[in-house]
Amino acid sequence: MSSPSLPGGAWNLGDSTVNRFGYGAMQLAGPWVMGPPADREGALAVLRAAVEIGVTHIDTSIAYGPRVTNDIIREALHPYPPSLLVATKVGGRRDAQGGWPTARRPEELREQVLDSLTTLGVESLDLVYLRMGDAQGPRAASLAEPFEALVALQKEGLVRQLGVTNVTAEQVDEARAIAPIVSVQNMYNLAHRHDDALIDRLAADGIAYVPFFPLGGFTPLQSDALSAVAARRGSTPMAVALAWLLHRSPNILLIPGTSKVAHLRENAAGAALTLAAEDLDELDRIGRPTGSAAG
């Protein structure tokens, strides 16, 4: 059986090979990522359509809902195709107001890993990110204690591969000095380019970089240059933003989020857009700090 082809080809994520065009499941929970979605059948359909078009990398977290997106993923796709990698995150929980307080003590991480195993219906999690920082972004602090706790869970066989998310470049180095990681997941898109140097360093070392909010997240990307390139190519700003990420570096894996099958298909088709040198030049100027000659 020939596998469907998605833009960007494949990447070796540690011991797995995944298509670079993946899917982020956060949008499948209710408003503000709390509670069930208004359209549960629609959410199941998005996941099934994702696998049908060839997605082999789905990103989730026990904190989405909480538990809601994991439950929907299990219902839609379990037993999982062998080619599918489900990445999840630990290090945060939800409070009654929908906030995202940190939960990184070893016993809290263990509880979240066990909860993730149950909700996803697996004996071992494919890839677990330790989430650092807070809702405002990364914060300088040692990750040694929580990361070592995750390494212990990996040694127990509950987790196969490790990553870090919402981290500073220094925290990436600190984690790598403790144990191998296969991926870093941080906020990055055409307009938010703080990690340019980190992306290039990780690419050289064969480590994936997974940008969250590739389309701007809760605030869609807006820029005259982006609209101009999209108009010139007869495309959409969303497609251009995704295609640009695939062009940016071979270690970038896409996990755009959507609650709609039509948008999923549109994004998969749109990310295949070929950008010319003049487009890349124009797009490159959107998020590059003024006065900087190189990333």
Ligand X SMILES: NC(=O)c1ccc[n+]([C@@H]2O[C@H](COP(=O)([O-])OP(=O)(O)OC[C@H]3O[C@@H](n4cnc5c(N)ncnc54)[C@H](OP(=O)(O)O)[C@@H]3O)[C@@H](O)[C@H]2O)c1
Active site positions, annotated = 64
Q: Shortest approach of ligand X to residue 118 CB, angstroms?
A: 20
Q: Shortest approach of ligand X to residue 180 CB, angstroms?
A: 19
Q: Does residue 246 belong to the site contacting ligand X (CB under 6 A)?
A: no
Q: Does residue 287 belong to the site contacting ligand X (CB under 6 A)?
A: no
Residue from 85, 215, 268, 286 that binds ligand X (CB under 6 A)?
215
Measured at CB, which residue is nearest to ligand X? 257
Q: Does residue 7 belong to the site contacting ligand X (CB under 6 A)?
A: no
Q: Does residue 121 belong to the site contacting ligand X (CB under 6 A)?
A: no
Query: Angle at the Cα of 64 (from 58 to 70), degrees rounded to 5?
Result: 50
d(C-alpha 119, C-alpha 62), whole Å: 8
Q: Does residue 257 belong to the site contacting ligand X (CB under 6 A)?
A: yes
Residue from 6, 18, 26, 63 that binds ligand X (CB under 6 A)?
26
Question: Rounded to 5 degrees, what are φ and ψ at 176?
Answer: -65, -25
Q: Shortest approach of ligand X to residue 45 CB, angstroms?
A: 13
In the Cβ-directed half-sphere of 251, how many Cα atoms lie within 13 Å? 20
Contact 283, 229 (CB under 8 A): yes
Residue from 266, 280, 284, 288 that binds ligand X (CB under 6 A)?
266
Q: Does residue 171 belong to the site contacting ligand X (CB under 6 A)?
A: no
Contact 68, 32 (CB under 8 A): no
Mode of pairing for the β-strands spanning 183-187 and 125-131? unpaired
DSSP assignment of 171-236, as one string? HHHHHHHHS--SEEEEE-BTTB-TTHHHHHHHHHTT-EEEEESTT-TTS----HHHHHHHHHTT--
Q: Does residue 216 belong to the site contacting ligand X (CB under 6 A)?
A: yes
Would you tell me which residues interact with ligand X (CB under 6 A)? 24-27, 59, 89, 131, 165-166, 185, 212-217, 238, 255-260, 263, 266-267
